[in-house]
């Protein structure tokens, strides 16, 4: 699984803001969290139209399936 590739796809297709939050890439084992914002915000950080802001994708990537 390639989360960077998926994030790039949704950024380009929908214009979503997606960023890694928490365990940075290459920081060893453990989960990765990805924050997703689907709508723009105003100066106060409030959504300017209905949508999802603050959604997150939690993923545990296992490189060695046999070890899982």
What beta strand segments (E) does 1-68 contain? Answer: 17-21, 32-37, 53-59
What lies within 8 Å, CB to CB, of 68 at 6+ separation is 62
pLDDT at 12: 95
pLDDT at 4: 84
pLDDT tens string, the chain, 68 residues long: the values are: 677 888 899 899 999 888 887 665 555 666 777 888 888 888 988 888 888 777 666 555 555 545 54
Question: What is the C-alpha to C-alpha distance for residues 41 and 38, in angstroms, rounded to an integer?
Answer: 10
Q: Is the pTM higher than 0.85? A: no
Question: What is the C-alpha to C-alpha distance for residues 54 and 42, in angstroms, rounded to an integer?
Answer: 15
């Amino acid at each position: 699984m390639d989360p960077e590739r998926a994030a790039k796809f949704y950024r380009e297709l929908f214009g979503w803001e997606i960023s890694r939050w928490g365990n940075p890439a290459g920081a060893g084992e453990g989960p990765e969290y990805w924050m997703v914002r689907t709508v723009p915000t105003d100066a106060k950080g409030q959504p300017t139209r209905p949508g999802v802001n603050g959604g997150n994708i939690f993923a545990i990537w296992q490189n060695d399936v046999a070890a899982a």
